[in-house]
Amino acid sequence: MMRMFSALVVGVFATALAQAHFPFIVPEADGTAAKVVFSDNLTPDKDVDIEKLVGTKLTLRDAGGKDSPLDWKKGDGFYQVAIPGTGSRVVYGVTEYGVLQKGDTKPFRLTYFPKAIIGTSESPITAVGGPLKVEILPTGDSGKVCFKLVQEGKPVAGAEVTVLLPGGGKKAVKTDKDGSTPVFESAGRYGVFARVTEAKAGEHAGKKFEETRYYATLVMDVGK
């Protein structure tokens, strides 16, 4: 009976994880454009209303560290955005999703902070700060990467971070005392998401909430 119960719990958790959707900024291979998707992976989910992200404010940080607003146009299950410039760049956004309440749970404010890195992860511009209250930073040597979760620049220890792996699959890991995940050594494209909860009541757009759930996402490529 205990084995059956454990299997049921694992199955429910896996289903909940599979159904979770997050905004990801997914650059094209040549770095001149990106798709913004609302999905549980890095491909568009056409069964989800992409207009849920319509209020997202996207910004480009160029190789010189200058920020510029970006416009997008709606595609089939995604938003398409052109990315000007060359070299290492970062595209990031802020999505104020609103106040939600599921069943009898307490109402919460939901905010997303999507980010994508184009070019080398060693560039100093990859840490945005400022508007990204919660952010995922890549660290590590060439061919290896770990992901550091920070809130207002300070590491978040003991948080669950889910990593979408190159070639498919996903892995849930915990951050250490420095806010960092274990090292990943596969080359290719990574997607990462993590949540930080702020237990502080407030009001947003006329609706009261008891906590804020911040989700940061990151998309980046790691070479060999």
pLDDT digits (tens, 9 = 90+) for 94-121: 999 999 998 888 999 999 999 999 987 6
DSSP state of 125: G
**According to the model, what pLDDT value does residue 1 have?**
38
Let me know: does 219 contact 121? Beta carbons within 8 Å. Answer: no
Q: Is residue 144 part of a domain?
A: yes
What count of other Cβ atoms lies within 10 Å of the Cβ of residue 92?
Answer: 26
d(CA 171, CA 191): 11
Q: Is residue 196 part of a domain?
A: yes
Q: Is residue 19 part of a domain?
A: no
**According to the model, what pLDDT value does residue 122 have?**
67
d(CA 187, CA 32): 21
Instruction: Inform me whether the pLDDT recorded for 4 exceeds 60.
Output: no
Q: Is residue 73 part of a domain?
A: no
Let me know: does 136 contact 130? Beta carbons within 8 Å. Answer: no
d(CA 88, CA 63): 5
Tokens of 106: 């307490």
Q: Is residue 191 part of a domain?
A: yes
d(CA 14, CA 18): 6
Q: Is residue 15 part of a domain?
A: no
d(CA 128, CA 86): 18
Cα–Cα nearest to 109, from 40, 224, 211: 211
The strand pairing partners of 173, in sequence order, are 161
Q: Is residue 136 part of a domain?
A: yes
Q: Is residue 5 part of a domain?
A: no
Q: How far apart are the first and last CA of the chain?
A: 47
What's the structural domain count of the chain?
1
Percent of the chain past pLDDT 70, that is, above it, reads: 89
Q: What's the predicted TM-score (pTM) here?
A: 0.89
Over residues 141-151, the mean pLDDT reads: 89
Domain holding 181, by residue range, is: 61-66+88-222
In this prediction, residue 16 has a pLDDT band, given cuts at 50, 70 and 90, of very low
d(CA 182, CA 92): 24
Instruction: Inform me whether the pLDDT recorded for 210 exceeds 60.
Output: yes
